């Protein structure tokens, strides 16, 4: 029994001596962070120069292929010298455009103002309207309002009146004129006092009446 114990102690001293550093497999142990960092520095990335083009998201395009890079809405062609992008001369946006889209290479007008605004109201293109009794207006295709103001003739009386919804004044009692401060009708002679008979100028209603003295009535006897 003592012999077996002695042999066991001998084996315990001999076995560690037989295990050499070369016998340890380093793949069985994970590398530390320093070793991992040094191994990443040796990675080789693909070089696409002269072979293709890469957009902002990292997508690779072949030579001759058209694509839209992330920073531009204009199409580009992949060449050996890199992307060659179109730079078109975009048309001008209509000044009356109310909705512009920028989804394409050039901005595009999607909605043009199709009405006119006049004194706070909107009118359709070619619509005619009367903002006042003396105005006639129309909404032009240029979105501008053109108006014509009525030119009233000189009234044939000294007391014209304005009727509702009418532009020009009217002589409700016909032509007349002033004889002093008295209004007399045209076309007849009017005795304005004991000594004067007056009548209006024919057609010149704004002029004072023509008067002539007659024998005064009610002359006191001597």
Does the model's pTM come out above 0.95?
A: no
Per-residue pLDDT of the chain (222 residues; tens, 9 = 90+): 444 444 544 444 444 444 444 444 444 444 444 444 444 444 344 556 667 888 777 788 888 888 877 666 788 889 888 888 877 788 888 777 878 887 778 888 887 778 898 998 999 999 999 998 889 999 998 888 999 998 888 888 999 998 888 889 999 888 999 998 899 999 888 988 888 899 998 777 778 899 988 777 655 443
Domain ranges of the chain: 51-110, 115-149, 155-215
- The strand ranges marked E within 150-217 are 176-179, 182-185, 190-191, 196-199, 210-213
Class of CATH domain 115-149: mainly beta
Long-range Cβ contacts of 111-115 (<8 Å, 24+ apart): 113/143, 114/143, 115/139, 115/143
- Alpha-carbon distance 62 to 74, whole Å? 18
């Amino acid at each position: 029994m003592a012999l077996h114990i002695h042999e066991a102690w001998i084996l315990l001293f001999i076995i560690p001596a037989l295990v050499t550093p070369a016998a340890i497999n380093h793949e069985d142990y994970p590398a530390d962070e320093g070793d991992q960092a040094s191994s990443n520095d040796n990675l080789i990335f693909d070089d696409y120069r002269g072979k293709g083009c890469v957009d902002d998201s990292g997508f690779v395009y072949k030579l001759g292929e058209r694509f839209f890079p992330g920073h531009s809405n204009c199409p580009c062609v992949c060449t050996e010298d890199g992307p060659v992008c179109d730079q078109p001369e975009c048309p001008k946006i209509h000044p009356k455009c109310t909705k512009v889209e920028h989804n394409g290479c050039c901005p595009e007008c999607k909605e043009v103002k199709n009405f006119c605004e006049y004194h706070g109201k909107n009118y359709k293109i070619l619509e005619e309207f009367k903002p006042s009794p003396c105005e006639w207006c129309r909404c032009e295709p240029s979105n501008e309002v053109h108006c014509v103001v009525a030119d009233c003739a000189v009234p044939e009386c000294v007391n014209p009146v304005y009727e509702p919804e009418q532009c020009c004044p009217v002589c409700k009692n016909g032509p007349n004129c002033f004889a002093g401060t008295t209004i007399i009708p045209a076309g007849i002679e009017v005795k304005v006092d004991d000594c004067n008979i007056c009548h209006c100028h024919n057609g010149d209603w704004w002029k004072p009446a023509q008067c002539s003295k007659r024998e005064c009535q009610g002359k006191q006897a001597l």
